[in-house]
Amino acid sequence: MQVDDITLYDLSILVNNDNAAIWQHLNFTHTDGGRQYLKKILQQPLNSISAIQNVQNTIQQLLLIENKWPTNITNGTLMVLEKYFETPVDSFKPMPNPFTAWMYATFKKGDYSLIKYSVEHTINFLQGLEQITGLLGHANSKLLSTCIQTIQVMLSKPLVQEMLQLKRDKPLTKAQVLTYGHFIQHHFKKAIEELIEIYNKLDAYLSLAIAIKKFSFHFPDFIESNDPYIRAEALYHLQLNKPIPYTITLEQNKNFLFLTGANMGGKSTFIKAIGVCVYLAHVGMAVPAFKMQLSLFDGLISNINLTDNITKGESYFFNEVHRIKKTIEKISNGRKWLVLIDELFKGTNQQDAIKCSISVIEGLRKMKNALFILSTHLYEIGHELQNHSNIQFKYFETSIENDQLIFSYQLKEGISNDRLGYLIMRKEGVVDLLNKL
């Protein structure tokens, strides 16, 4: 699925200046490498249902054994191994006898301490990997099977098998320390690096499994369809502490959602919630919804957090127009797209904005290969669009009680007619301040 950097930013997948990014919300990794691989997973949405299902299957398998995951592999363990390969030590015989090992340990204390410490962490790492192969040895995930097979091949070497049999409460002899240390540094370096890479990958997918369990997400169902389709029940934005769930259906004959409502009423959150769920579904992740069914999308594009560009001399309105132009060019390829537009044409006067908005909506709604969610503060244009059968009209209701704004965050049928700007100014004391000038 095609997604550009602006959309990733709009949906806070990796970066957000105001709140924790989505990847941070899903981050339960144990290692630095796992965190980096988690980011990699979350910035590479997949392009086939089979690839998505393979990832879903991988995460589901990890969910079954998540509470049995070995605790003896830590970020510190992997850092020690990496440092060992980078730090030179004085040479010694590959398989020293007790006396020569004692001599080295006595007269090369610093080097021996580093070797001993590194060997102990290597043994912990290898024994932890052996535990993982036992937990996942019968996994029917292609990704997990490949990882486990590679681990088993690496662990089959005679000296590795010897290390796997060692008891944790029995100290190593000096000869064992130097024998294993030489083998690890000179004959097992590439294998260790590959095993670390595999562990980081498993750590990242395990993180997604932990997140699913913690937040009670559900896996979406993908359907084979030539037409774009989304059906979701009790969908919500995963970063809210007390979210209000939404139910929504978008399909070819109802492919355009025209969304209205007062500022702070929930429009932006709703749009982002849909975008995040569709995005996570395409990386193989479960989603914050009770149930979700969707087609495979070829692209996701948004127009939410645009700004002006002073250094280039570009106005906010210019950037809005440029983004709409880019959107039209992208979705004109006939593939399935989800298009998210929040508060269209805020950067110009109302008369211009109405004319531009109607022109854009009238054009976009004809594109049957895409689904659109568009919010606007220009409620007037909704009435001119009501004769189009493929446009759905929904709004977020706001009420006033005792001069206080009440936001229900409930999605309702129709077009909002709320005019609450002056009330908000008065409630915040701005009108009183102005009157005193």
* pLDDT value for 72: 87
The CATH number fitting domain 31-215, selected from 1.10.3210, 1.10.10, 1.10.1420, 1.10.3470: 1.10.1420
| Cβ atoms of 396 and 407 closer than 8 Å | yes
Domain with CATH 1.10.1420 in the chain: 31-215
Answer yes or no: is pLDDT of 18 > 50. Answer: no
- Binning pLDDT at 50, 70 and 90, where does residue 308 land? very low
How far is Cα 118 from Cα 275, in angstroms, rounded to an integer? 46
146-167 pLDDT, tens digit per residue, is 999 999 999 999 999 999 999 8
Query: Which residue bears the tokens 């919010």?
Result: 375
* pLDDT value for 422: 64
The pTM of this model reads 0.90
* pLDDT value for 16: 52
101-119 pLDDT, tens digit per residue, is 898 899 899 999 999 999 9
Average pLDDT over residues 329-343: 94
| Rg from Cα positions in the chain | 29
- Average per-residue pLDDT for the chain: 89
Burial 11-37 (b: 16+ CB within 10 A, else e): bbbeebeeeebbbeebbbbbbebbbeb
Domain with CATH 3.40.50.300 in the chain: 221-435
CATH architecture under which domain 221-435 falls: 3-Layer(aba) Sandwich (3.40)
Average pLDDT over residues 379-408: 84
End-to-end CA distance of the chain: give it in Å, rounded.
55
How far is Cα 78 from Cα 30, in angstroms, rounded to an integer? 11
Lowest mean pLDDT among 36-50, 254-268, 297-311, 376-390: 297-311
Q: Which two tokens stand for residue 74?
A: 């830590």
Q: Which two tokens stand for residue 341?
A: 């537009």
Average pLDDT over residues 261-290: 93
Answer yes or no: is pLDDT of 313 > 60. Answer: no
| Cβ atoms of 390 and 275 closer than 8 Å | no
At residue 351's C-alpha, the angle toward residues 349 and 352, to 5°, is 65
